[in-house]
Structure 1
Amino acid sequence: MASTTYTLDEIATALGARLEGRGDLRLSGAAEPGDAGPDDLALAMQPAYAEALPKGHARAAILWEGADWRALGLEGALFVQRPRLAMAHLTAMLDPGPEIAPGIHPSAVIDPEAQIGVGAAIGPLVVIGRGARIGSGARIAAHASIAEDAVIGHDALILQGVRIGAGVMIGARFIAQPGAVIGADGLSFVTPEASGVERARASLGDQGEIRAQSWTRIHSLGGVEIGDDVEIGANSCVDRGTIRSTRIGSGCKIDNLCHIAHNVVLGRDCLMAALSGIAGSTVLGDRVVCGGATGIADNLLVGDDVIFGGGSRVLSNVPAGRVMLGYPAVQMQTHIDMYKALRRLPRMLKRLKGAQNEVPKDRPND
């Protein structure tokens, strides 16, 4: 694939950056300073990164405010206020996206009752079921399957091996990374009498009399509803609801290997890092952030703008605006105090044992 080139001036305009030096330099890529070639824009937003510039061959770089680009041997430089935001715009310019040929590949299997929007690109061995509706400009890569009556908005990008279940409703500009599964049945089973799990939960630990029982399946009649501008990572799963739909609000970004269980509701612009999971019927507010491997128990309420640090285990409701960490998750400052106290325990116990040894075992009579 031929690379698209941009002048440094064009990149500055797209990034909202201040340009110094040669705006006519033509560049086709971005690279770390030590790896940059003459056609790359080096990313040296901090002095520590710039130390590697002499190892590469960059003619231009993104630098920090106050940097002397001439002394660094560059012909031009860009200066930005927020480096990671600049990276977002730069990578969007330079990313060609996956190669999915326009039109419908001859090996795709599309039901006659499915509706395909104008300009959609459908790759090899894609299967689209009866009554499914695919929006205009959608791109669907090889081996994806979209079941009956699913609806996908315009400009979606559905990558290799994605599975979208029956009746799933998805908004515009959706991105699904390879292997994502949306609309599978959730874990919903019941025993004829109260199970040991139910009794243990009610008693906080005692499951009572042990009885042999088998599990009866509760079928999933609900769907999945996903808003606009949502991204689902590779091999992540979103289960359909039992009766009502599982819902993911517009703007949510979900990393690889995450699980959203049946009946969960996510508000707008939530962020979930890899290996996080939300158990059934829990409701998250807007802009909730889950660090890697966060686990949230079922039937909980989490308010707007809550942040969970990586590895947190959430066992109770969380009010809006809290920053939480630990197992069980508590406010971050409380967790830090608990951790400091835990580290002191061995020393405290040693001192206590020493103090006990100093006390005579047999005291004289008064």
Structure 2
Amino acid sequence: MTDFSLNEIAAALGAQVQGDAELRVRGASEPAAADASQLALAMDPKYSDGLAKGHAKAAILWDGADWKSLGLEAAIFVPRPRYAMSGLTSLMDPGPEIVPGVHAMAVVHESARIGEGAAIAPFVTIGRDVVIGPGARIASHVSIAEGAQIGAQALILQGARIGARVRIGDRFIAQPGCVVGSDGFSFVTPEKSGVENVRKSLGDQGDAAQQSWTRIHSLGAVTIGNDVEIGANSCIDRGTIRDTSIGNGTKLDNLVHIGHNVQVGEDCLLCGQVGIAGSSRIGNRVVMAGQCGVNDNIFVGDDVIAGGASKIFTNAPAGRVLLGYPAVKMESHIEMQKALRRLPRFMAAAKGDK
């Protein structure tokens, strides 16, 4: 494990050091569990008691903390603790061990082009005409299908699947088991189905005949911008004709599903178990908490924030904050829930009047 001086850590965080700036640490820890070689993370006064229980010589502290009275030899002060965590973890995370070069047990098509400095682990399969950018790291058991293009400095972890003709930008991160470019879930019946009738009538299946589903094949692919991250076991379906697309800087959590033809904008944050149905468009900087669902063929505007388990059935204008099933303005949902909780008292009072 690499060790770091407090000066090196402060420089990476754009922070200030007080005390022994040359003191070296080998990792980070919660204050109460820290040993003498670790940097304690006590960025809020509520963690001060933990410092007395642990053995850290140095800590990251909140602004204004008296580091000497806390028994420390040195301290780093950061103005925005959670943002500092991003810099600290980036500095200390060594990343996966993938030996540079192409491992002898990888299967790489002769027409594939592998960029300078790339690292290809054993049991990786790379298909015809694939392009892998410089500095990319591909862990074991990854498959990359024919015609796919992956940019520079990509990190594709164990068991990920990249489908045919998928195009991915620079600094892409794929967590284990994710699938980019699976076939879209699109089926049709020879005559109108009960589903089509229900969509039109909002409840009546009509006289739809019993019939089997026929697949509509996906001729499109998936296009992904720069600095995109895809979580473990997430799936992005390729488009029917046009590509499904994910904009620059967007991050997908684990178990997220993006349906065929969906367009997701830039710098979006889609948390675990979010599902976006086919042909919907998601604007820029949209945040969807866990288990949010988006109906097909609708538009969610820029800067929308949707609370956990919200179900968005209609177009959402830019900047709207949503909650509920169906999703409404968050303040409206809260008032509705207050009214619902009062309902038993109202009913009891109404019965008492009779």
User: What code does the residue aligned with 1:121 have?
Assistant: A
- Find the partner of 1:86 among 84, 87, 105: 84
Residues of 1 paired with 2:67 and 2:348: CA distance? 58
- Find the partner of 1:105 among 103, 108, 112: 103
Residues of 1 paired with 2:76 and 2:314: CA distance? 47
User: Partner of 2:350 in structure 1?
Assistant: 352
Residues of 1 paired with 2:69 and 2:295: CA distance? 55
User: Partner of 2:145 in structure 1?
Assistant: 147
User: Partner of 1:267 in structure 2?
Assistant: 265
Residues of 1 paired with 2:48 and 2:196: CA distance? 59
The aligned runs of 1:205-216 (5 Å cut-off) are 205-216=203-214
* C-alpha displacement of 1:211: 2.1
User: Partner of 2:322 in structure 1?
Assistant: 324
User: Partner of 1:6 in structure 2?
Assistant: 4
User: Partner of 1:51 in structure 2?
Assistant: 49
SS in 1 for 2:336: helix
SS in 1 for 2:56: coil
Kindly report the root-mean-square deviation, in angstroms, between the aligned alpha carbons of the 2 structures.
0.7
Unaligned runs of 5+ in 2: none
- Find the partner of 1:60 among 58, 61, 79: 58
SS in 2 for 1:238: strand
Taking structure 1 as the reference length, what is the TM-score of the superposition?
0.96
User: Partner of 1:157 in structure 2?
Assistant: 155
Residues of 1 paired with 2:204 and 2:30: CA distance? 57
Q: For each residue in 1:155-201, what CA deviation from the matched residue of structure 2 results, as whole angstroms up to 9, or x when unmatched? A: 00000000000000000000000000000001100001111111001
User: Partner of 1:333 in structure 2?
Assistant: 331
- Find the partner of 2:300 among 299, 302, 305: 302
User: What code does the residue aligned with 1:188 have?
Assistant: S
User: What code does the residue aligned with 2:103 have?
Assistant: H
Q: For each residue in 1:283-314, what CA deviation from the matched residue of structure 2 results, as whole angstroms up to 9, or x when unmatched? A: 01100001011000100011100000011000
User: What code does the residue aligned with 1:194 have?
Assistant: K
Q: For each residue in 1:257-284, what CA deviation from the matched residue of structure 2 results, as whole angstroms up to 9, or x when unmatched? A: 0000000001100100001010000001
Unaligned runs of 5+ in 1: 357-366
For the pair shown, the structure with the greater C-alpha radius of gyration is 1
Residues of 2 paired with 1:352 and 1:79: CA distance? 60
User: Partner of 2:13 in structure 1?
Assistant: 15
Taking structure 2 as the reference length, what is the TM-score of the superposition?
0.99
SS in 2 for 1:51: helix
The aligned runs of 1:214-229 (5 Å cut-off) are 214-229=212-227
* C-alpha displacement of 1:9: 1.4
Residues of 2 paired with 1:210 and 1:199: CA distance? 8
* C-alpha displacement of 1:210: 4.5
Runs of 4+ aligned structure 1 residues displaced above 4 Å come to: none
Residues of 2 paired with 1:238 and 1:50: CA distance? 44
User: Partner of 2:30 in structure 1?
Assistant: 32
Matched, 1:192 2:190: yes
CA contact (8 A) 2:253 2:271 kept: yes
Residues of 2 paired with 1:343 and 1:161: CA distance? 47
Residues of 2 paired with 1:65 and 1:228: CA distance? 35
Q: For each residue in 1:44-73, what CA deviation from the matched residue of structure 2 results, as whole angstroms up to 9, or x when unmatched? A: 111112211122111111111121111111
